[in-house]
């Protein structure tokens, strides 16, 4: 074929995408086809196909590509319990990704992290606090994870009927949540009930409801099969049951794991052939280069390679990579949108909404801005690391906790700062100075907890004690010892906890008057925390994970069975803080819970409405939560499960009616074979500011009967 041949249909934007893709793939040699199936895809100049690097990240902002707006880490986004806000965040991220991509092209930069295919969101279930990558997820609940994931995917991909704004990539499919040290070789053994009830629902929602055009396979095996070459996960469920038409990408190095670590293939050619034949279309890595040898050996037909390549080229066509820029809706987004003031304000808003007030004894908070003296103490008080989390970009400006406090208090207030100790070392050399400041102050604000240097992905958290994971879930190093000495001064101590996961703070809960959970709050984190501490914002976030009292309340890390006490849905012991828990500076009352029908058939839906009133003297946000309990189930079911939430803002004395629709899928139980069904019997429907039996939540309850 020559460059001027009329068969160059792939460059005609007026032709149907599939016709263009078919013509392009048909024009390629086998070697050229294979070259496009690795994440560093080299250009084919004779066909006008440019270089493209498929690897980009946008977990909570465009990552690893220099300047970008940095929003709170994913676990903090989840703590907002605010679907529409999540969509706004993802839209802002996709604006910046588009702007950076097109500006990079103008500069001749086609490198990694400037593409339009983003390997986000991480929608794995955060089932154990020891997992370092749990910070990247939306928590432990399948429903919350699905709703936040759908909002994020839609915000990334846009709503144009012809073009994708970005390609979103829900990951890691499936049953992937530690140990980091074992992720390249372990087999996640789960029951089919747990698989369908807990580990797959968010992926299903992101594919079927949000239209995610890509999915990333996990490193591990699930039920004996490598996830990137799983007949069950890729063929039967993803494409067969869910009708997925996009492409699957491997996690980085996962195809090599098939033969080197899982030992289910004899070498790279067999691994590549197995993965492609099962439906993994793109290799993050280089093993797919062996597909040429695999064809020669008869391990795979070229036609199977064509199937995968067409999926990949369809994505590139739908992203507008072969079309004139004026035809692509987002090609003209200006580069000055990156880190713009609107996005900074959005980052501040979601950072505020992510903050969870865990304790406020005696109404110590909010603090007066006109205190005589404030001591700001702790290894995380003036740290950029605790703002950014992992998989992050770098903001042009950022506000630490110390800077936030300094900007908030009156000009006549003395503010002193001392780190006191390191994040996880054992030196006490800074104690004396910090305690001295505390003894001379009206209040101590202690910024303690974790950072992404201590918990994270294998190889990234260099201070981790277990390849990114945690072996202990308390405050690391001597932080708790410092807290105890600060408390002993008699000065009130407010703990601001930064982390991407649950931290065991039993002593702090028992002894300190106030505790705020701030997560890794992004570039505006210091301002958001100060707004909450000094009353310019009333905290309204909720915990997307359970804070256990100790590891004794958990089964072994390697055990994936939910019924053994995993997450609030199956945990019978009282934890330190419950999933869905969070306090406010005001109070709320629930009343008049109503069901549109007291009885329904197994295929019917029911409307649930409730009135919520702000009974306190301050404006505040409330997260209205709906839980379902199947009280007459004939098979094992969760004790209760979240099936609706809505974040609302109410002024003092203001009341609002909140409505939910419960459909059959939300009333399902699951058989031993994973088959969902709605069973006749009674269901307890509870709506409140927390779980049904949480005294702080004020839930009201009704009974729904499903007829046989």
Element (H, E) at 676: strand 676-677
The three-state (H, E, C) secondary structure of 54-111, written as one string: CCECCCCCCCCCCECCCCCCHHHHHHCCCHHHHHHHHHHHHHHHHHHHHHHHHCCCCC
Rounded Cα–Cα distance for residues 72 and 159 (Å): 25
235 flagged as catalytic = no
Round to whole Å and give the CA distance between 697 and 590: 9
Residues whose CB is less than 8 angstroms from the CB of residue 494 and which lie 6 or more positions away in sequence, other chains included: 364, 365, 367, 443, 444, 445, 446, 512, 513, 514, 515, 516, 533
Bridge partners of 544, per DSSP, are none
- Phi, psi (degrees; rounded to nearest 5) at 375: -105, 120
Catalytic residue among 251, 353, 458, 504: 251
Alpha-carbon distance values, 463 to 288, 423, 457, 480 (Å): 34, 9, 12, 18
Q: In 164-246, which ranges are E strands?
A: 167-168, 187-188, 214-217, 221-222, 225-226
Q: Please list the residues that pair with 594 across neighbouring strands.
A: 609
> Going by DSSP bridges, is the β-strand pair 514-517/356-360 parallel, antiparallel, or unpaired?
antiparallel
Helix (H, G, I), strand (E, B) or coil at 187: strand
594/611 Cα distance (integer angstroms)? 9
Q: How many residues does the chain have?
A: 708
Among residues 95, 136, 455, 643, the one annotated as catalytic is 455
Cα–Cα distance measured from residue 571 to residue 565, given in angstroms and rounded to the nearest whole number:
4
Q: Do 102 and 333 contact (CB within 8 A), yes or no? A: yes
Contacts of residue 106, defined as CB under 8 A and 6 or more positions apart, other chains included, come to none
Neighbour count for residue 38 (Cβ, 10 Å)? 21
Q: Please indicate whether residue 302 is annotated as part of the active site.
A: no
- Active-site residues: which are they? 251, 455
């Amino acid at each position: 074929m020559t460059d001027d041949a009329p068969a160059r249909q792939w460059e005609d934007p007026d032709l149907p995408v599939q016709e263009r893709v078919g013509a392009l793939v048909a024009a390629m040699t086998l070697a050229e086809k294979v070259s496009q199936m690795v994440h560093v895809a080299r250009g084919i100049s004779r066909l006008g196909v440019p270089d493209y690097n498929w690897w980009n990240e946008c977990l909570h902002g465009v990552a690893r590509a220099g300047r970008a707006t940095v929003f709170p880490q994913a676990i903090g986004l989840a703590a907002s319990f605010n679907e529409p806000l999540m969509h706004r965040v993802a839209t802002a991220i996709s604006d910046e990704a588009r702007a950076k991509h097109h500006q990079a092209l103008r500069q001749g930069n086609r490198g990694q992290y400037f593409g339009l295919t983003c390997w986000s969101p991480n929608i794995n279930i955060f089932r154990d606090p020891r997992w370092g990558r749990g910070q990247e997820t939306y928590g432990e609940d399948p429903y919350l994870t699905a709703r936040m994931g759908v909002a994020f995917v839609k915000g990334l991909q846009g709503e144009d009927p012809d073009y994708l704004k970005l390609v979103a990539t829900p990951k890691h499919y499936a049953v992937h949540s530690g140990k980091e040290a074992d992720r390249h070789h372990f087999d996640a053994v789960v029951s089919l009930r747990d698989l369908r009830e807990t580990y797959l629902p968010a992926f299903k929602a992101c594919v079927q409801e949000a239209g995610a055009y890509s999915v990333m396979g996990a490193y591990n095996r699930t039920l004996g099969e490598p996830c990137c070459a799983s007949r069950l996960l890729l063929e039967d469920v993803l494409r067969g049951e869910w009708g997925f038409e996009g492409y699957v990408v491997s996690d980085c190095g996962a195809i090599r794991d098939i033969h080197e670590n899982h030992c289910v293939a004899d070498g790279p050619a067999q691994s590549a052939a197995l993965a492609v034949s099962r439906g993994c279309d793109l290799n993050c890595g280089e093993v797919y280069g062996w597909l040429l040898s695999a064809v020669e050996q008869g391990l795979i037909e070229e036609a199977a390679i064509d199937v995968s390549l067409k999926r990949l080229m369809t994505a590139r066509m739908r992203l507008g990579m072969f079309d004139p820029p004026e035809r692509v809706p987002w090609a003209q987004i200006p580069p000055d949108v990156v880190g713009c003031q609107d996005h900074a304000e959005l980052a501040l808003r979601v950072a505020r909404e992510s903050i969870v007030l865990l304790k406020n004894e005696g109404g110590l908070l909010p603090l007066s801005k006109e205190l005589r003296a404030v001591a700001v103490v702790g290894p995380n008080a003036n740290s950029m690391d605790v703002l950014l989390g992992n998989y992050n970009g770098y903001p042009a400006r950022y506000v630490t906790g110390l800077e936030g406090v300094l900007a908030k208090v009156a000009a006549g207030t003395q503010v002193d700062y001392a780190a006191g100790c390191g994040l996880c070392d054992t030196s006490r050399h800074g104690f004396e100075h910090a305690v001295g400041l505390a003894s001379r102050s009206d209040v101590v604000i202690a910024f303690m907890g974790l950072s992404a240097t201590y918990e994270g992905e294998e190889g990234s958290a260099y201070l981790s004690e277990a390849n990114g994971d945690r072996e202990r879930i308390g405050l690391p190093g001597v932080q708790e010892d410092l807290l105890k000495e600060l408390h002993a001064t008699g000065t009130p101590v407010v703990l601001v906890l930064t982390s991407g996961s649950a931290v065991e703070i039993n002593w702090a809960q028992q002894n300190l008057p106030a505790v705020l959970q701030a997560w890794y709050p992004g570039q505006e984190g210091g301002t958001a925390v100060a707004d909450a501490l000094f009353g310019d914002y009333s905290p309204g976030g909720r915990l997307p994970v359970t804070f256990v009292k100790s590891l004794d309340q958990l089964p072994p890390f390697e055990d994936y069975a939910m019924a053994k006490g995993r997450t609030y849905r199956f945990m019978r012991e009282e934890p330190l803080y419950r999933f869905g828990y969070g306090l406010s500076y005001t109070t709320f009352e629930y009343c008049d819970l109503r069901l549109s029908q007291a009885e329904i058939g197994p295929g019917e839906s029911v409307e649930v409405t409730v009135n919520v009133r702000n009974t306190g003297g301050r404006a505040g946000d409330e997260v209205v939560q709906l839980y379902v309990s199947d009280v007459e189930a004939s098979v094992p079911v969760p004790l209760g499960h979240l099936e609706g939430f809505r974040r609302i803002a109410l002024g003092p004395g203001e009341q609002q009616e909140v409505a939910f629709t419960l459909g059959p899928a939300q009333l399902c139980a699951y058989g031993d074979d994973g088959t969902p069904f709605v069973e006749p019997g009674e269901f307890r429907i509870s709506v409140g500011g927390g779980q049904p039996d949480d005294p702080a939540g004020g839930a009201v309850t009704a009974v729904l009967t499903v007829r046989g």
